Amino acid sequence: SWHVFRRARCSPNRMTVIAAAVLTLKRQR
């Protein structure tokens, strides 16, 4: 998950939000 955050820094905020949403959905499931 850290790798995703590291790449999110370079990518727009939208990528970070999407990554966070995916992680949250995976955790809930």
pLDDT tens-digit map of 1-29: 566 666 656 556 777 788 888 989 898 87
Find the domain containing 4 and state its range: 1-29
The per-residue pLDDT for 4 is 66
At 11, which helix (H) or strand (E)? Answer: none
Task: Compute the distance between CA of residue 10 and CA of residue 25 in angstroms, rounded to an integer.
Answer: 23
Are the C-beta atoms of 15 and 6 separated by less than 8 Å?
Answer: no
Q: How many domains does the chain fold into?
A: 1
Tell me how far apart the alpha carbons of residues 13 and 23 are, in angstroms, rounded to a whole number.
Answer: 15
What are the residues whose beta carbons fall under 8 Å from the beta carbon of 7, sequence distance 6 or more? 15
Whether the full predicted model's pTM is greater than 0.85, yes or no, is no
